[in-house]
Structures are given as structure tokens and as C-alpha cells.
Structure 1
Amino acid sequence: MTTPAHVDALPTPVETPSTPVNVDRAITALASVLTVVLTAVAFWLSYEHLQEVAARHGMAEAVARSWAWPATVDLFIVIGELLILRASLAHRVDWWAIALVTAGDGASIALNVAGVGQDANALDYVVAAVPPVAALLAFGALMRQVHGYLTRRTMTGVAPASTGVEAPSTPVMGSVDAPLPAPPATPLAELAPVPSAGPEPLTAVAASTPVDKEVSPVAPASTAVDLCMPVVYANRVDQLVRALYGTDFTQPSTARMTMAMAGAGLGASESTARTARSRVRAREPYLADFPTALAG
């Protein structure tokens, strides 16, 4: 008996990324915190200046109204940015949200600049215009970071349960007691003499490490395993309904079946779902023993 050659496989070095994951997360967290701080400061400066403008133009006696009035301008920016974030997550463009942001930020910049007065220095106008512009850019950057975070969670999060129909497994046509297939024919010149005592039992030899110990043959008195033939459904709706029985081991309700059918592109007919469930129960009667708390 020839000893198989021993192959020594050298481990392949794995290159680590240049930037550690912890450093990348720390930078991202720091940028997020600074963006939130910048957004809050910019909105506060813009809001307080608009309150002073409102107090100087008719609301000096009504302090509560003078503080509430800037919200009628700055909140348009917040609402518009949130609607833009929602539209970007849905991979579409919301022009109405863009118009809200444009109107709110334009009005905020114009009112902050106009509130300085006519005879002010040019730098005063710049100082008045910086907070609303910074609020717009900082809040936009914040929404962009939120969008990136939600996108990464969607791509790397736990995959939802598939509503599609998986192809049935290949049926097992043989049994455990069936004899092993005959080995391929070998030329007479390559045949080794067989001892008269009988054939030697087969031994398992690893590809890289030789094994000297012989494996004991399987005793003929071993207990046979009865393999059940799987039930194969040709109808896609039947396949889908049968798969729902195995998700939580309860009988699926009509609403659950129609929801899964709609997700798989098979329509949402309740009668079709009930008919398919009846066919599945007829072919596999033991499914009727499942709990019926969710059945509908």
C-alpha cells in the first residue's frame, strides 16, 4: 500500500486594512457630534437675531410672540430637510421639500441681513448672514450622515425573512441499506493480487495527512434509517403556503398568506390562499396538528 504524499500548505497572510475600524468609528462619531453642535449653534444665532428683528418691528410688548415668530421661518428648513432625507431613502426626488428648504433658508438669510439696518457696515451684513447659511449647511450635513447610517444599517443588518418560494430539495431515491455503486473498471495489468482471506475493509485516507488506522466496516446488523420522501408542490402558491408552516410552526392565517403572496408577486387573493392551504393540508395531513391560534 502506497503512502499518500504529505502536502504542507503555507498559510496565506491576510492584509489588514490601513485604517483600523475603531479609528474610523471614532472619527465618524466625532464628526457627527460636531455637526450636531454646529447645527444647534447656527440655528440658535439665527433664531435669536430674528427674535430681535421681530421685537423691533411691532412685537416689543409681546415677548412670547417675538420668540415664537422666528419658528415660522426656520422650521421650514427643518421640515424640508427631513422630507428630503425621506425621499433620498426611497431613491426619489421630492421637489416640494427642496422648495421648502429654499424658501425657508432664503427668507431666514434675507430677514437676518435686513434686520441689521440700512446704514450698517458691510461686515455687519456678513455677520448677520453667516448663522442662517451655516444652519442650512450644517443641517444638510447632519441629514447626509443620517442617510449614510441608515443605508449602512439596511445593507449590513439582519436580512429579513424571505417571502419567496425556495426550490424543494432533491428527493432521496435510495435507502441506507442499498449497496454501494461498483468501482470503475480497472485494467487487468494494474490489479493487485487479492489475499485469500477476503477483501480488506475500506480505509479513509486524508488528502494531506496519512491515516494508518483502519476503519472498522459497518456491521450488517445496523438499524436501517427510513427516509421519508419529501412532498414536492408544483404550484408556487402551494409552495409559499407550505413554507409558512415552517417559519413558526403554526398554521398561517389568511392575512399572513396574502401578505406573503403579495411580497412574492403572486397576487393577494384570499380565496386563492385558502384553497392553497386546503391542498397543502390534504397532501400533508399532519399539518393539521399545528396550533391554530393564528389560523384565519
Structure 2
Amino acid sequence: MSTAARVDTPSTGVEAASTPVDVENAITVTAAVLTVVLTAVAFWLSYEHLQEVAAAHGMASAVARSWAWPATVDLFIVIGELLILRASLAHKVDWWAIGLVTAGDGASIALNVAGVGKDANALNYVVAAVPPVAALLAFGALMRQVHAYLARRASTPITTPLTGVDRPSTPVDISVDHPPAAPATPPAVTADPVPDRPALPVGVKAVSTPVDTDPVSVDARSTAVDLCMPVVYTNRVDQLVRALYGTDFVQPSTARMTMAMAAAGLGASESTARTARGRVKTREPYLADFPGSLRVEAVG
């Protein structure tokens, strides 16, 4: 009767994602949805109140114009916030965009409050001012979440391979019906007999030859090995410029960098390209020894 031996290999030490990660994702999605809802409600309340103000001051008979007029105020906030988001992704400060948001929101708050009238209760002014203020804060929070999401997408994380991970446990059946035969004993090897030294003639002495056994001095020199951590670039433009050094093995020109940035969807700003090249040279000074590009440019 045959018998089988069951052998189990070690199991994998990798576990599934922990629950806090799922909870964090759920909180992030919920906050984003609530921010969108709050932004829409606040803009709607502010927009409708401005429409009532326009209708009460010369546009009562022109309903379409009274509904279009608030857009001349509230859309400045939307345009300014989008321009601020674009500048933030490019690591710049757009003061013109900040001015648009300030002007649009200031005008919206002032017009909403002024539309209440002169002899109104103080609480009426508060009620009129809350929607435009809430619209500004909610839309700013929404743009901040969009910026954080795009920043995570732009950065390229470097993952190191896991060590010490074995393959999944797999049962292996080994049949022992017929145990393996013992290996045959190799035949003994007999050494050839060493011939006897010939006998010296009578009267002849064996003279030994002196051997110089002075050791040869060896100059052992240690070789210094510099171990350094790899340089990691989190900015996507810096990553692209650093990759050009390893691709062309020359100093990347402004035109070369802007072409690569445009192909990657990162815009074509020459100042951004030159600034990124300067950051790369600062972090890795030896790259400055690379030869210049063969193409001569007026500005590089």
C-alpha cells in the first residue's frame, strides 16, 4: 500500500489593506460631495438674490437680463479660483487671479447686503451676506481638494520591492512506494606507486639548494566606496528634466525641455523649464559637467 508525505511551504506574509485606509477614502469622498453641494447651494442663493436686486432696480420688465446680470459678478469668483488653481499647480502666484476673486466676492457681498434696503433689521443683512461668503469659502475648499488630487496624480512615488515574501503554500505529494536506491559506491581509485629515488653513487653527497623565503611585501590599499541615497524628485517637471540628462547625455536646452513638457501635458513655460533645470543641477552638481546641447539658442 502506497503512502504519501505532505509538505507545506511557508505561507505569504502579505496581508490585505487595513480598514483605516477605506475609512479615510470614504471620508474624503463624502467631504468632496458635501463641498460640491454647499458650493452649488450658496451660489444659487447668492445668484437669485442678485437677480431680485437687478429686477428691483431697472430690470423688472427684462426678465432674461435680470437673470443674466448676476453672472457679471459671480463668474469673476469662479474664473479667479480656477486661475489660482492653475498657478498653484505651476508653483506660481497669480496676483491677477487673486484680484479677480477679491473683486468678485467683494462686489457680491456688497450687492447682496445693499439689496436688503436701508431700514431693514440687522439680521436681514446677515442673512443676505451669508450666501456669498459661503460660496467663496466652499468654492475655495473645492479648489483645494482638486489641487490635492492633481498633486497626488502628478507625483510619481517610488516603491521598493518587498523582501522576504514567499510563494503561497502549495501542498506537494511525494510518493514513497519505492524508496530511491542508495547511490552506488564509486570504485576505489588506486594511486600509482611512486618510483623510488635512484641511489646516489658512493662518495657523492646530496647538496641542498637554499631557497629565499623572504615574503614579498604587499601594499594593501583600501578603496573608498561612496554610498549615497538616490535622489528622488517629487515634482513632475523636475523628473522630466532629470530624465533628459539620462536620455541625451547633454545639457538639455530650453527648447528641448519645453517640447518634452508640452508632450507630457505640463505646459510649455520656458521659465518653469529653466527653474526646474536649476533645481536639478543644485541637487546633483555633477550634471553641470555634461556637455552643452549641439543646438545653439539665444536664450538657454
TM-score computed with the length of structure 2 as normaliser: 0.50
Q: Distance in 2 between matches of 1:93 and 1:156?
A: 24
Once the 2 structures are TM-superposed, how far is the Cα of residue 25 of structure 1 from its aligned partner? 0.6
- Cα distance per residue 1:49-86 (max 9 Å; x no partner): 00000000001111111111000100010011111111
Query: Using a 3 Å threshold, how does the CA distance of structure 1 residues 59 and 22 change in structure 2: closer, same or farther?
Result: same
Q: State the one-letter code of the partner of 2:111.
A: L
Q: Distance in 2 between matches of 1:94 and 1:258?
A: 21
Once the 2 structures are TM-superposed, how far is the Cα of residue 240 of structure 1 from its aligned partner? 3.7
Secondary structure of 1:120's match? coil
Partner of 1:139: 139
What does residue range 165-184 of structure 1 map to in structure 2 within 5 Å? none
Secondary structure of 2:93's match? coil
Partner of 1:167: none
Q: Distance in 1 between matches of 2:34 and 2:127?
A: 21
Q: Distance in 2 between matches of 1:110 and 1:50?
A: 10
Once the 2 structures are TM-superposed, how far is the Cα of residue 267 of structure 1 from its aligned partner? 5.9
Q: Distance in 1 between matches of 2:98 and 2:23?
A: 35
Q: Distance in 2 between matches of 1:258 and 1:135?
A: 37
Q: Distance in 2 between matches of 1:99 and 1:196?
A: 99
Q: Distance in 2 between matches of 1:37 and 1:43?
A: 10
Q: State the one-letter code of the partner of 1:91.
A: H
Q: Distance in 1 between matches of 2:190 and 2:128?
A: 105
Partner of 2:45: 45
Is 1:34 aligned with 2:34?
Answer: yes
TM-score computed with the length of structure 1 as normaliser: 0.51
Query: Using a 3 Å threshold, how does the CA distance of structure 1 residues 22 and 69 change in structure 2: closer, same or farther?
Result: same
Once the 2 structures are TM-superposed, how far is the Cα of residue 258 of structure 1 from its aligned partner? 10
Once the 2 structures are TM-superposed, how far is the Cα of residue 19 of structure 1 from its aligned partner? 5.8
Q: State the one-letter code of the partner of 2:107.
A: A
Query: Using a 3 Å threshold, how does the CA distance of structure 1 residues 197 and 115 change in structure 2: closer, same or farther?
Result: farther
Is 1:76 aligned with 2:76?
Answer: yes
Q: Distance in 1 between matches of 2:258 and 2:59?
A: 59
Once the 2 structures are TM-superposed, how far is the Cα of residue 36 of structure 1 from its aligned partner? 0.2
RMSD: 3.9
Q: Distance in 1 between matches of 2:190 and 2:21?
A: 65
Q: Distance in 1 between matches of 2:98 and 2:58?
A: 31
The answer to whether the 8 A contact 1:87-1:93 is kept is yes
With 31-40 and 86-95 compared, the bigger mean Cα shift is at 86-95
Q: State the one-letter code of the partner of 1:105.
A: D
The answer to whether the 8 A contact 1:258-1:268 is kept is no
Partner of 1:105: 105
Number of equivalences: 177
Q: Which fold has the larger relative contact order, with Cα–Cα distance below 8 Å and residues 6 or more apart in sequence?
A: 2
Query: Using a 3 Å threshold, how does the CA distance of structure 1 residues 54 and 259 change in structure 2: closer, same or farther?
Result: closer
